[in-house]
Amino acid sequence: MELDPNSLERIVPDELRSEDRTGAETLRLSTERYEFASQFIARGRVLDLACGVGYGTRILTDGSEAACGLGVDLAESAINYANQRYANMRTTYQAHDAMGFEDPEGFETIVSIETIEHLPDPATFVARVSKMVLPGGTLIGSVPVTPSVDANPHHLHDFSERSFRRLFEPHGFREVDRLEQDQPFGLFAVLSRSESRMKDMRENLLGYYVRHPGALVRRGLSTLRHGFKNRYLTVAWRKSP
C-alpha cells in the first residue's frame, strides 16, 4: 500500500503543503507530545508503539544519547518510509500490529501517541503494554478527550479524561505529569472539506447522527462546553519499582 500523506491519520512532515493549516497544526501538536514524552527518557530501551512514519521516535531518541528506540507500526508503507528517512544507529523500525506486539526484554519507556482510540479493545491493549514496562519505568499515552468518533471514521472510541485514566488504574502506575492541548477548528472548513486532509472525514455525517443520536448529544455538549475545538490529553505514568 502506498503511503498517503493526505490521510487524516498520517502526518508526513516532508510532504505537508503550505496551505494545509490543519496538517501543520496537527504536526505541531504531535511534536509537542513527543517532546513532552522525551523529558522522561534518560536511558535504556524506548518503544514508540504506533509510530507512524517515525519522526516522533527520533525525537525520543535524539533527546538522550543513552537511549535506543524502536518504532512499531502496522503500516508497512509507514515503516519503509521511517527506515529510509529517520533510522540511525540508535533508532530502528519494524512493522507489527500494536495489539499483538510483544517483547520479553521489556522497555524502560513506552510511548503510544493517539493510538488507543483506534483499537478494538483498549483495555486489553493497555494490559499488554503495561507488562512490557520495566519496574520503575514510564508509560506515556495520549488520546482525544472530546468526541472524535463522529467525524473520524478511523476512531472506534471516545474518551473523557476520566475514562482514559481509568484504563491504567489496575496496572500499578502512578501519574507523574500531563500535557493538555487544544486544537480549534473552523466549522466552515470542516463542513466544506476545504483542505485535502479533511476529505478523509466521515461521509454523510448527518446520516451518522441519525443512526447514532448519542454521538450528536456528545458533540453538542462538548461544543457548548469547549467551543469549536478538539482537546487532547497526554499522561505520563510511572510504574511501581
CATH number at residue 170: 3.40.50.150
Q: Annotate 116-149 with DSSP letters as a single string.
A: GGGSS-HHHHHHHHHHHEEEEEEEEEEEESS--T
> How far is residue 221's CA from residue 216's CA, in Å, rounded to a whole number?
9
| Cα–Cα distances in angstroms (integers) from residue 108 to residues 39, 130, 143, in the given order | 13, 11, 22
In a domain, 108, yes or no: yes
Integer Cα distance of 64 and 46 in angstroms: 11
Domain that holds residue 33: 21-239
> What per-residue confidence (pLDDT) applies to 187?
64
Percent of the chain with pLDDT over 90: 76
Q: What is the mean pLDDT of the chain?
A: 91
Tens of pLDDT, residues 21-72: 778 888 999 999 999 999 999 899 999 999 999 999 999 999 899 999 999 9
Q: Is residue 14 part of a domain?
A: no
Domain count, the chain: 1
pLDDT of residue 42: 87
* Cα 118 to chain centroid, rounded: 9
Instruction: Decide if 9 is inside a domain.
Output: no
How many helical (H) and strand (E) elements, i.e. helices and strands, does the chain have?
8, 7
Burial level of 227, CB count in 10 A (0-12/13-18/19+)?
A: exposed
The order of strands in the sheet holding 107-113 is 91-95, 67-73, 44-49, 107-113, 133-144, 229-239, 173-184
Model pLDDT, residue 197: 65
Answer yes or no: is 94 within a domain: yes
- Residue 167 confidence (pLDDT) above 70: yes
Structural domain includes residue 16: no
Gyration radius of the chain over CA positions: 18
Question: Residue 200 has what pLDDT?
Answer: 75
pLDDT surpasses 80 at 110: yes
Q: Which pLDDT belongs to residue 135?
A: 96
C-alpha cell at 163: 475514562
Asked if residue 189 is part of any domain, the answer here is yes
Q: Please say if the pLDDT value at position 1 is more than 60.
A: no
pTM of this structure: 0.92
- In tens, the pLDDT along 202-240 reads 888 889 999 999 999 999 999 999 999 999 999 999 999
